[in-house]
């Protein structure tokens, strides 16, 4: 059996992989204390130079024949739900004039990342969406649909984007 060895950034807990992805977006930083991770909005959201693309390339280069063509990402609705948490309201209002502007930037960031992944060989992208609690889920359903539709608009025809809905927590031990 062949093991792939790559240095691991110890500042990111692999059990909260969706936060690791969000923290790779421009304009979002890590916040939260101890075992309760969170994100903080520090500026306009962008997907420029997201580390997921380099991680995909690294894995693809490790596989004989370069057969890796699928990447799994947390769905943009999860990031939207975190951005809409009450702790982020002040930062949201400071950075964005409207939900429409924020949703557009988040969708554009995801579109950029998926386009970059396609450029380096990904042909299937799975967006994992966790079932949100009923109160939170109802409040962002419309914005979540908007961000998802906008994120996948005009991607290459041979890029398959799949949604996977999980019913548990994103935490994986």
The 10s digit of each residue's pLDDT in 136-154 is 555 567 888 899 999 999 9
Per DSSP, helices labelled H in 63-169 are 76-83, 89-95, 99-119, 134-152
User: Which token pair is 81?
Assistant: 């739900």
**Spans of the chain below 50 pLDDT:** 1, 134-135, 170-173
Q: Is 121 left (phi over 0), alpha (psi -120 to 50) or beta?
A: left
Q: How far does Cα 32 stand from its chain's mean position? A: 18
Cβ atoms of residues 145 and 139 within 8 Å: no
Match domain 14-166 to its CATH number in 3.30.300.30, 3.20.20.210, 1.20.120.1760, 3.40.50.300: 3.20.20.210
Q: Above pLDDT 70, what percent of the chain?
A: 76
């Amino acid at each position: 059996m062949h093991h792939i060895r790559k240095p691991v950034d110890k500042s990111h807990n692999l059990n909260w992989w969706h936060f690791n992805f969000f923290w790779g977006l421009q304009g979002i930083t890590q916040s939260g204390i101890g075992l309760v991770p969170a994100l903080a909005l520090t500026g306009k959201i962008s997907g420029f130079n997201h580390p997921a693309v380099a991680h995909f390339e690294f894995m693809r280069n490790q596989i004989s024949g370069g057969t890796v063509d699928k990447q799994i990402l947390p769905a943009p609705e999860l990031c939207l739900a975190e951005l809409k948490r009450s702790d982020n309201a002040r930062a949201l209002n400071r950075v964005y004039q409207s939900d429409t502007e924020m949703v557009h930037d988040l969708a554009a960031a995801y579109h950029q990342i998926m386009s970059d992944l396609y450029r380096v060989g990904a042909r299937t992208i799975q967006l994992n969406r966790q079932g949100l609690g009923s109160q939170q889920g109802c409040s962002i359903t419309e914005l979540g649909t908007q961000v998802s539709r906008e994120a996948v608009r005009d991607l290459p025809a041979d890029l398959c984007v799949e949604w996977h809905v999980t019913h548990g927590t994103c935490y994986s031990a």
